Amino acid sequence: MPQGIDDFTIVLPELTDMAACELKVYDGLDRLWRMVERYKMTAPIAIRVLDSKARCVRAIRGTRYQAAGWQLEDETTAVAQPLGGEVEFPLTINSQDAKGNILKMRLQLGVPKPELPSNHSHD
């Protein structure tokens, strides 16, 4: 069974609304930021999240500051209308830096392990 997981694949542990989620979700995509740094991409980075039909789900601008690290700014409203529940995985993250270099990464949902109970009780 092929895993399909490589350096260019980000696995989300659960279904996340990538169009409406807070930017800290993107901030937490460590693999994306490691790849951006590995390829020495020049900020600002224009990040576009596309669904399986190449519709833009989210547009984000990432700027790197020496002291604070990556600062993300949402630009979605200027680019696309929300699709509602129509977003189809796998998603593609296209990141383009100030020099025009493009990094493409896949965003997949992780398959939950069957042995983990889905109903956690919180006291």
Total domains, the chain: 1
By 3-state DSSP, what share of the chain in percent is helix, strand and coil, each rounded to 5?
15, 35, 55
Per residue in 65-109, pLDDT tens? 888 889 999 987 644 455 555 677 889 999 999 999 999 999 988
Say what the pTM is: 0.78
**116 confidence band (pLDDT: 50, 70, 90):** very low
List the domain range (segments joined by +) for residue 45.
9-109
Other Cβ atoms closer than 10 A to 123? 2
Inside any domain, residue 41: yes
Other Cβ atoms closer than 10 A to 121? 5
Inside any domain, residue 76: yes
Residue 121: CA count within 13 A, CB half-sphere: 1
Inside any domain, residue 61: yes
